[in-house]
Structure 1
Amino acid sequence: MAGKRRQFGRVRKLPSGRYQARYVGPDGVLRPAPHTFRTKRDADAWLADVQTEMRRGDWHDPDAGRVAFGDYASTWIAERGLTTRTTELYRSLLRLHLAPAFGAVAVADISPAAVRRWRADRLGAGVGASTVAKAYALLRAVLTTAVQDQVIRRNPCQIKGASTPPTPERPTATVAEVYAIADALQPRYRALVLMAGFLGLRWGELVGLHRRDVDLDGQAVRVRQAVAELTNGQREIKAPKSAAGKRTVAIPAVIVPDLRWHLEHFAEQGAHGRVFVGAKGAIPRRNHFNRLWHKACDKAGVKGLRFHDLRHTGNTLAASTGASTRELMARMGHSTARAALIYQHASAERDRLIADSVSALVSRSRRPSGAREKDHGSEGHAGDTEG
């Protein structure tokens, strides 16, 4: 009696004795299994799985993942609509850290084990943890898109926390240190330091300010743009990092006289005149200013402080006032609550220490006078005995 004709796919026995399975995909192309099978039953089982995937709509073109990772990642970067600075960073990470290991590898062939091995090799070669984390984050983002494009089924980047390495806690300058550094710098940069330390503005936001952005009567600064320095030495005027970055930040009244004096002596004239310019009338460059910054820190006796750390001072002071998470987010220019919560947590810990100290003072003050006298008497008696 003739056997029942197969409804899906074909199986044939090869001269080697192994079995080959083939099927017609949704695209009408006859496709073989990626490997042969020891038994006909194994080949039938594989075809059954493929048929189930097709019925569920889970079928993926097995050839789609054959694209080389380097080509796919380059296209991914080009299509994201990123800023020039971010594009430079991603291309650098791809060229220096990802392409040597995965550039010629098919996207579908990148396995979790290969990713783990790559990361361990990078760290073992002495590459900084922060750089490896950025490269891993880029790899994961590219492969997440590959999953969405149905090029691969699952993202092989599965190392928990690999894209966010632990970072050492940065120092927070005190109010006295901020003023000491400001006084040690050239007068034209004094207001720059005070605004960074007490408003929490970023370098790029500060050097991107124009006169029209600074309202001393209303005691507010409007952040509309930022200046980004590219690796080729060019500078790019761009919008802040996020929509939340466009914001109005209130100026503490105590530094208004300093800002007024700066505008009178160093800022360019006119509403569109730049607030901060170098001695030769150009926008200050970060590398040049850093040399002045380090000299000023040494003169002020402040060690290990970066200019960006002044932002931590401003945010910490704001958090210590009891500002809400939403208020801190608005002042800092963040679209998520993560950073604001960090500063609030630090402020809460400090407040807890203060409360504990107050509690100890109150407890000592409320002890009955008799108990205090008894304690003094017992101490005196013990002393007499020892004498």
Structure 2
Amino acid sequence: MPNKDGHRRFGSIRKRESGRYQARYLGPDGLMRSAPQTFERKSEAERFLALVEAQMMRGEWLDPERGNIRLQDYAERWITQRPNLRPRTVLLYRWTLTKHITPHLGRVPLVRLDTPTVREWRAKLLAAGVSVSMAAKAYRLLRAVLMTAVKEDELIRVNPCRIPGADQEKAAERPVLTVKQVFALAERVPDRFRALVLLSTFACLRWGEVVALQRQDIDARAKTVRIRQQYLELRGVGLVLGPPKSRAGRRIVSLPTAVLPAVLHHLREYVDESPEALLFTGASGKPIWRGNFNPLTRWSTAVADIGVPGLHFHDLRHTGNTLASRTGASLRDLMARMGHDSPRAALIYQHASAEADQAIAAAVDKAIRKHGKPKL
């Protein structure tokens, strides 16, 4: 229908019985569509049609009907269709989705989500006592889901997760032990777990990595430990042996010389001769779980004795990472030693220098010996 200037007008506008204006237009697929809302003024309906027409001319128009899928349904499908997610990550994502996202936003269609809605959702989480760290994890998951809806599936035009700082975790600073405290802790746990404390710290190992180590992963002559697998504890499944956390997690780490006697002692006293024998087990020979680690090692008493009550096992790796970073090693070499991954870290790990890693171990060894020969 031509407008008053004689040009054909895009779409049509009619006044409804309510007095509000309804805008309709023909999509590129030949189907007639209505605006998702009515307008109080005719000029508002005209602006809507002008925007839609411009989007079509630029090839940017999205079918609004496709964005009517509920967030809950889309997010569930998003998790299912991520082929590279580790089983534990899938469980974590599903738990976060069910606990913190879908109760508030699950029934909202993607096309109806906007930044104020997301901001209000985050504010409700924090007001309900959810930690800043957990809220940040939930926000990052929601943002990743909606980014796929924007860039890959083209269901919505923009990602509504645009709140500055909402993705940042302000976790409490974790303690860093001194070298003396590390050896004091190793002395206070049962003998069969002393090497576990020292390896976890000075080789910068994650929990799942250290409890999955086998005899064949220790090279006493080269003074190295090889990380090639980890144990995952999956709810409802049990203990599962799998690859490291990321590609960079597969690595060979040089050991400080001062730690080697404790490792060799452990191999003699507690590890079967089979190359596949686990390095660390309970007295029964079974793998160590997070749940039985505290009673097996008398951890709470040991960390209290060295003056750091509340110390987490992961703080040993944090301590080792900190000691390594103080040696002046480059970021590339540190990331390779720690098994960190990022958009750049995969390539960095591929070319990490074994010689540079040995230099890190030697520097840490020097720091250890400054405190006198360790009692092992």
Matched letter for residue 161 of structure 1? G
The secondary structure found in structure 1 opposite 2:240 is: strand
Which of 93, 98, 103 in structure 1 is aligned with 2:96? Answer: 93
Structure 1 residue 242 displacement after superposition: 1.4
In 2, the alpha carbon distance for the partners of 1:70 and 1:181 equals 47
Q: Deviations over 1:84-111 (max 9, x none)?
A: 1111111111111111111111111122
The secondary structure found in structure 2 opposite 1:277 is: coil
Which of 255, 258, 261 in structure 2 is aligned with 1:257? Answer: 261
User: Unaligned 5+ residue runs, structure 2?
Assistant: 349-376
Larger radius of gyration: 1
Structure 1 residue 224 displacement after superposition: 0.4
Taking structure 2 as the reference length, the TM-score comes to 0.84
Conserved 8 A contact 1:188-1:266: yes
1:276 corresponds to which residue? 280
In 2, the alpha carbon distance for the partners of 1:42 and 1:274 equals 71
Which of 340, 348, 361 in structure 2 is aligned with 1:334? Answer: 340
1:325 corresponds to which residue? 331
Closer, same or farther in 2 for the Cα pair 1:184/1:34, shift >3 Å? same
2:58 corresponds to which residue? 56
In 2, the alpha carbon distance for the partners of 1:320 and 1:43 equals 63
1:21 corresponds to which residue? 23
1:247 corresponds to which residue? 251
Taking structure 1 as the reference length, the TM-score comes to 0.82
In 2, the alpha carbon distance for the partners of 1:180 and 1:191 equals 12
Aligned length: 338
RMSD: 2.1
Closer, same or farther in 2 for the Cα pair 1:302/1:22, shift >3 Å? closer
The secondary structure found in structure 1 opposite 2:25 is: strand
Structure 1 residue 225 displacement after superposition: 0.8
Q: Deviations over 1:171-192 (max 9, x none)?
A: 1111111111111111111100
2:319 corresponds to which residue? 313
Which of 222, 231, 235 in structure 1 is aligned with 2:235? Answer: 231
Identity of aligned residues (%): 48
Conserved 8 A contact 1:171-1:304: no
The secondary structure found in structure 2 opposite 1:63 is: helix
Structure 1 residue 290 displacement after superposition: 2.5
Closer, same or farther in 2 for the Cα pair 1:5/1:254, shift >3 Å? closer
Is 1:12 the counterpart of 2:14 in the alignment? yes
Q: Which moved more, 1:123-132 or 1:11-20?
A: 11-20
In 2, the alpha carbon distance for the partners of 1:159 and 1:281 equals 50
In 2, the alpha carbon distance for the partners of 1:16 and 1:233 equals 58
Q: Deviations over 1:41-98 (max 9, x none)?
A: 5434432221111010110111111111110110011111211111111111111111
Matches within 5 A, 1:1-387: 4=6, 6=8, 8-38=10-40, 40-81=42-83, 82-148=85-151, 149-232=153-236, 234-291=238-295, 292-336=298-342
In 2, the alpha carbon distance for the partners of 1:43 and 1:255 equals 75
Structure 1 residue 330 displacement after superposition: 0.9
Matched letter for residue 308 of structure 2? V
Q: Deviations over 1:327-364 (max 9, x none)?
A: 111111112489x9xxxxxxxxxxxxxxxxxxxxxxxx
In 2, the alpha carbon distance for the partners of 1:7 and 1:227 equals 65
Q: Which has the higher helix share?
A: 1
1:382 corresponds to which residue? none
Conserved 8 A contact 1:211-1:271: yes
Matched letter for residue 273 of structure 1? A
